[in-house]
Structure 1
Amino acid sequence: MAALPRRSRGWREVALSARRNSRIRHPNIVSLLGFCVHEGNHYIVYELMEKGSLDTQLHGASHGSALTWHIRMKIALDMARGLEYLHEHCSPPVIHRDLKSSNILLDSDFNAKISDFGLAVTSGNIDKGSMKLSGTLGYVAPEYLLDGKLTEKSDVYAFGVVLLELLMGRKPVEKMSQTQCQSIVTWAMPQLTDRTKLPNIVDPVIRDTMDPKHLYQVAAVAVLCVQPEPSYRPLITDVLHSLVPLVPVELGGTLRVVEPPSPNLKHSPC
């Protein structure tokens, strides 16, 4: 069990997040256990996620060293399953609106769960004129940033950014100078579609550890997810179906990994 103290956005919004989260039940959504006031402090209590956030695992002290290629693909698949539940199985559909690596929490087996529904909205309750523009720099879809247009495809864009983080081990926005920053999408796009350049931008921790065909497939999915035009982005269900064959069976996918024979294995004479 983990308790989170009140944040700057205010207890009312945190309580709203807690109530909304309490109605959502899925293996890839963090379970809310309760919320309370204790000695003047406000808390929301979620299930304990021992490995912390994906952001900490990728960009913290370990720099992703515990995240193999297959574990990263499993995390992406878990995220897609959680989002599919929000978009396709909740009634009305829920748009998370703040999907990012720090809101993807990992348990002791690296099962990924989506957390923090403080900015989430239902698709039938979107009033562009009154809704405050919210989100996190680097993850916000361009159409939402420019004209406030918000749909499930906005979450798909953010998913694509997290997929790029998993692929490259880079932060969504990196400082180039005191006055300039560059997004991972802007930097990576020209290289994601070039098969000669793509292997060079992969996180060194996982470089050369995956089937090249799988790498190209994941890059193609990421490119589609971060398209500037929302109509060109896939539904999260289509993303999910693209990822399932890339994840080993024992991690929740359909890929059957054939282990190479041991070099010490001796063949018996016929």
Structure 2
Amino acid sequence: MEEDVVDEEDLTYRGNAILLQGPPIAHLPTTNLLAYATHFDAHPLGLEWINDTTCVLVFESKASARQGHRFLVKSPTEEPDPEGFLTAKPIPIALWPPEERINKSLGKGEGLKGTLRMRWALHDDVKRKGAKRESEFYKKHGARAGKEGYFSPPPESGPRKKIRRERGEDELRVELDNDLDDFLAEDEPERASSPPSKMRSDQLVGDRRSLLERTSVMREQPVSLVDRITKSLPRRRGDRGERGGTREWDRGKDEEEAPPRRRRSREKELPERRERPQKKTQQELDDELDAFLNEGR
């Protein structure tokens, strides 16, 4: 088998996948490893993690995988070792994690200059059970590490069952959240439409309504500012000017606003004036006195 060609008759190899292995992989997340391949004009669809130092680049077709193999190998003249490994191109410094670049500049470490090897991936190159719990990469980069991009079709029994289990867990979590919301809503007391008044006079009115209840219509149908400005002020009884006269702006309003019925009622209340008797003369008074004295004799 040549360095960049897979034996079509050998069913143990995956014709569209390349395995990468080496210490630098332990320092890189999935996005940086995909960027490494793209940097050298290899364009994989995605990446599969095997362990902290091993991963598989999956390509769209065998032709694109062979092209990627040629771009990623360090020396085209190198012969593969007994396991089929070749030396891959090193990771560019621009893709190193920031702490590794700083350590390299300070001379505190070798950075990511460890040897990176590559070979055609086998069907047996899969992550073994329990590798996630033992992975230092997952502890450093989180549980989502290695899940970006393409997922190769795993064995039919395990992963499909896992996907169904994850979907079931999501649905169960949503159902439990809804049940908790309903439970909390039942315990929450109903809020009063308006806070109770602390004034006794507001509670002991004739219709047993509080001040807030009596003014609810005003709150529901508020009077606009224009209506309050243009509306005439209420008239007070005996409302006159400073000197008892009618105010200039109120002249003519008494006659216009007062209903005729009220004027007629006032006329009825006044008593009828009697004619004043005419003043008697002195002679008439003397005659009346004489008549009174003669009656007593």
What TM-score comes out, normalization by structure 1 length? 0.21
Which structure has the greater CA radius of gyration? 2
> TM (normalized to structure 2)?
0.19
